[in-house]
């Protein structure tokens, strides 16, 4: 499993955990988790993977709530 696959797997675990709350609550909670617990580099890499077909749909929607990565 490469780094991108691991990141998708982690995002999917987070999304699966919150999914039981229903989409309306889960999506913002997932985005909040990413903001609080993922470092900026991890979020930047994640945002580059949002088109991956293996990414949980709620994680994809949560990505839309994250700020765009800043240029270095």
**What ranges do the domains of the chain cover?**
3-63
* Cβ partners under 8 Å of residue 31, min gap 6: 62, 63, 65, 66
Q: Please determine, for residue 72, whether its predicted confidence score (pLDDT) is greater than 90.
A: no
CA 32 to chain centre: 10
Q: Which of 4-33 are b and which e, b meaning 16 or more Cβ less than 10 Å from the residue's Cβ? A: eeebbeebbebbeebbeeeeeebbebbbeb
For 14-28, what is each residue's pLDDT tens digit? 999 999 999 999 999
Cβ atoms < 10 Å from Cβ of 58: 23
pLDDT value, residue 68:
79
């Amino acid at each position: 499993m490469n780094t991108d696959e691991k990141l998708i797997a982690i995002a999917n675990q987070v999304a699966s955990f919150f999914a039981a709350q229903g989409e309306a609550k889960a999506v913002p909670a997932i985005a909040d988790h990413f903001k609080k617990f993922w470092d900026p580099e991890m979020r930047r890499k994640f945002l580059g993977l949002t088109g991956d077909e293996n990414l949980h749909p709620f994680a994809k929607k949560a990505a839309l709530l994250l700020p765009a990565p800043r240029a270095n």
